Amino acid sequence: MESEQDVQKALEKHRMYMGQRYVEVYEINNEDVDALMKSLQVKSSPAVNDGVVRLRGLPYSCNEKDIVDFFAGLNIVDITFVMDYRGRRKTGEAYVQFEEPEMANQALLKHREEIGNRYIEIFPSRRNEVRTHVGSHKGKKMTSPTAKYITEPEMVFEEHEVNEDIRPMTAFESEKEIELPKEMSEKLPEAVDFGTPSSLHFVHMRGLPFQANAQDIINFFAPLKPVRITMEYSSNGKATGEADVHFDTHEDAVAAMLKDRSHVHHRYIELFLNSCPKGK
């Protein structure tokens, strides 16, 4: 903006709508701008385009064949799935290494196209982002030579440490699990893993306001009662706007899907069913 007055006018647009989505507007200082511009210059440099892209929003059932088919016509030499820090399930993210940098540029054109019924976000990345992750958290290699799993760092954040700030572009997500007692008290339990096996009946939420907490999710699904809520945070403790909500039965999970596109704090929420009738 040209002046401080213009900045203040721009901030008045906070939470106003562009099309059907409301837009959040924040002020950042000159130091933040300088750091961002340097980062963009590095990312745009041809020298660091080594043919890697990062995918976000993949279905949990997605495998390497699905990704190869998605990028049909582009030669893939390596696929790395990012697992949660327990190594038990996929996070919906993956790194894809292409044979040529130009192929990675072509891959970016498929941003927001769909695999299954989920749109996929595609971002430029670099080999060292994958190597750094794998170096500190080695994952299980698949039988295919072009695909492997890597695990995420274990990081748990208290809610008061998370503020509504600009979310960084980061692939390394962490999770906070909240076990909900059958008799839910007014005070929510702390973010700890009680060691119970993961429910087979859960709904993935996308688009939560960054300030949303577990109680907001409980209210959203009422009168249904979740048995566990897993909220995702980036590596520096900021909310990603995504969560998994577990239910006792498949029927409850299906009923929860009726809330798809309903609102939490004026934001509509996308829901994705991860449950089957046979799961007990």
Classify domain 4-43 by CATH architecture.
Answer: 2-Layer Sandwich (3.30)
What would be the CATH architecture of the domain defined by 202-274? 2-Layer Sandwich (3.30)
State the Cα torsion 110-114-115-118 to the nearest 10°. Answer: 130
Does residue 273 sit in helix, strand or coil?
strand
Residue among 225, 222, 220, 270 nearest 246 (CA): 225
Whole-model pTM: value is 0.40
- Domains 4-43 and 52-133 are alike in CATH topology: yes
Lowest mean per-residue pLDDT among 51-55, 102-106, 158-162: 158-162
pLDDT at 256: 94
List CB contacts of 242: < 8 A, sequence separation 6 or more. Answer: 204, 205, 206, 208, 231, 232
- CA dist., res. 193 & res. 32, Å (int): 36
pLDDT given at position 166: 33
Amino acid 48: pLDDT: 63
Average pLDDT over residues 124-144: 55
CATH topology of domain 52-133: Alpha-Beta Plaits (3.30.70)
Q: What is the DSSP string of 213-233?
A: -HHHHHHHHTTS--SEEEEEE
Averaged over 20-36, what is the pLDDT?
Answer: 80
Residue 154, classed as helix, strand or coil, is coil
Whether 165 has a pLDDT exceeding 60, the answer reads no
pLDDT band at residue 155, thresholds of 50, 70 and 90? very low
Provide the token pair at 68: 């190869």
Domain ranges of the chain: 4-43, 52-133, 202-274
pLDDT score of 178: 55
Paired residues of 90 in beta bridges: 83
Is residue 208 within 8 A of residue 243, CB to CB? The reply is yes
Most confident range (mean pLDDT) of 193-197, 204-208, 275-279 is 204-208
- The predicted structure's pLDDT at residue 274: 87
Distance CA 258, CA 271 (A): 9
pLDDT, position 50: 86
Could you tell me if 164 and 211 are in contact, meaning their C-beta atoms sit under 8 angstroms apart? yes
Structure-model confidence comparison of residues 42 and 267, the more confident one? 267
Query: 129 pLDDT band (50/70/90 cuts)?
Result: confident
Q: How far apart are CA 265 and CA 212, in angstroms?
A: 8
Cα–Cα distance for residue pair 148/138, rounded to 1 Å: 10
